[in-house]
Structure 1
Amino acid sequence: MYIIIAGIGRIGYTLGKSLSERYDVVLIDINKKICDKVAKEIDALVINGDCTKTKTLEDAGIDDADIYIAVTGKDEVNLISCLLAKKYYGVEKTISRISEIEYKDIFERLGVDIVISPELIAAHYIEKLIERPGVLDLTIIGRGEAEIIELIIPEDSEVANKKIKELKKPEDYLIIAVYEGNNLKIPSGETVLKPGDRVLVLVKKDKSEIIRRMFRGEK
């Protein structure tokens, strides 16, 4: 897969470093000093240029790109470059960061495939943690239809000392990992859940409160 990332701020740098381990990645930034620094740190092609210019995009190999990601600090730059990638060069998937939440609908209407607001994601994350006392960690996946929650099983939990296959309503959730101390196990139906175990549970959003209470022994 060939991925172009425009903007080498914190998000662009982290994303580029991670994706470059698995895919062909090109990074673009208008700041030459940043480009020179990152070129020594990440195994990817780094281009110093303006991502709203066709020459820069072509130098980055836009004709071969499968995904174009714009995460500069300017919404207008992200929008223009995504539209160029999508409408002019035919890139299959475009992803844009936005700073102003109210722009989300506009970006989507204009054809940007995925629009992400770090501020909105953070706000939703904090809100969920407030609403889920006892949850160690939570990840929202898909379009919000499901969540991955992390819990520690207490002594009085109704799931304690039971095999996974003995638990009720398995269609509403899936136990995807069990930690016994620092040891990670991919569970099966025969796995016994013991007090003190830390578990990761994939759960439908509308059932998350019920499942949380079931695992934590709350009425």
Structure 2
Amino acid sequence: MRVAIAGAGAVGRSIAQELVAGEHQVMLIERDSAQFEPHTVDQAEWVLADACELASLEEAGLQLCDVVIAATGDDKVNLVVSLLAKTEFAVKRVVARVNNPANEWLFTAAWGVDVAVSTPRVLAAMVEEAVSVGGLVQLLTLRQGQANLVEMTLPDDTPWAGRPVRDVKLPRDAALVTILRGGRVIVPQADDSLEAGDELLFVASAAVEPQIRAAFAQI
């Protein structure tokens, strides 16, 4: 997979290092010469250019990329990069970093964004997930808000301990996709039993999240 990352700051370089380790082709686009440091991710292709300029993106070969990640520290730049990637270069997947949560509403398909990642929201969700037992925690928004990745940890006194997954009556637009148990990642099957302390990961529309809570409040 060929991935272009706009912004070679700490965030962009970290993403690039992870993708390079996964044997993907990575191109970092940076307009600030002070942050143009190819030695920090020497397996990536580096381009000194303004990612908001159409000609620069065309010259860099953005049309050959499968994914574009707008990872700068400026939300306006990330929106422009996303829009150009989607409308001018028909990039299949555009991921954008949201720096200011107040701007999150802008990061939609109208601006070419397929997935918006709000760092403050993700960090808050991680903190909430670490201390929340029995409640439903939103970890990630998918498909411009059409669905969410949400997590629930079963408390020690859960009435669901020992009960099979098939007994859980989830609403139509929700799916239990993973059970995290100790160091294991379990793809749930109908006959698998639930245990206290299980971390349950669901993909669900926001509208049915209350019904997921209700499903685990009773048997």
Q: What is the TM-score with the length of structure 2 in the denominator?
A: 0.69
- Decide which structure has the larger Cα Rg and report it: 1
Deviation at 1:22, TM superposition (A): 4.7
Deviation at 1:27, TM superposition (A): 0.6
Assess, with a 3 A threshold, how the Cα gap between structure 1 residues 163 and 66 changes in structure 2: closer, same or farther: closer
Q: What's 2:184 paired with?
A: 183
**3-state DSSP of counterpart to 2:36:** helix
User: Does structure 1 retain, via aligned residues, the 8 Å contact 2:133–2:155?
Assistant: no
Quick one: distance in 2 between partners of 1:138 and 1:103? 15
User: Does structure 2 retain, via aligned residues, the 8 Å contact 1:95–1:112?
Assistant: no
User: Does structure 2 retain, via aligned residues, the 8 Å contact 1:98–1:104?
Assistant: no
Cα shift readout 1:171-218 (whole Å, capped 9, x = no counterpart): 464333334433333221111223x34131315333433433543x57
Assess, with a 3 A threshold, how the Cα gap between structure 1 residues 166 and 80 changes in structure 2: closer, same or farther: closer
Amino acid at match of 1:149: E
Aligned residue pairs: how many? Answer: 212
Quick one: distance in 2 between partners of 1:185 and 1:93? 28
Q: What's 1:69 paired with?
A: 69
Deviation at 1:59, TM superposition (A): 4.7
User: Does structure 1 retain, via aligned residues, the 8 Å contact 2:83–2:112?
Assistant: yes
CA RMSD of aligned residues (A): 3.9
**3-state DSSP of counterpart to 1:192:** coil
Q: Using the TM superposition, name which of 179-188 and 85-94 deviates more.
A: 85-94
**3-state DSSP of counterpart to 2:26:** strand
Amino acid at match of 1:148: V
- Unaligned residue ranges in structure 2 (runs of 5+): none
Q: What's 1:19 paired with?
A: 19
Q: What's 2:118 paired with?
A: 118
Deviation at 1:70, TM superposition (A): 2.4
- Unaligned residue ranges in structure 1 (runs of 5+): none
Deviation at 1:119, TM superposition (A): 6.1
Within the alignment, does 1:47 sit opposite 2:67 as a pair?
no
Amino acid at match of 2:147: E
Deviation at 1:80, TM superposition (A): 4.4
Amino acid at match of 2:162: N
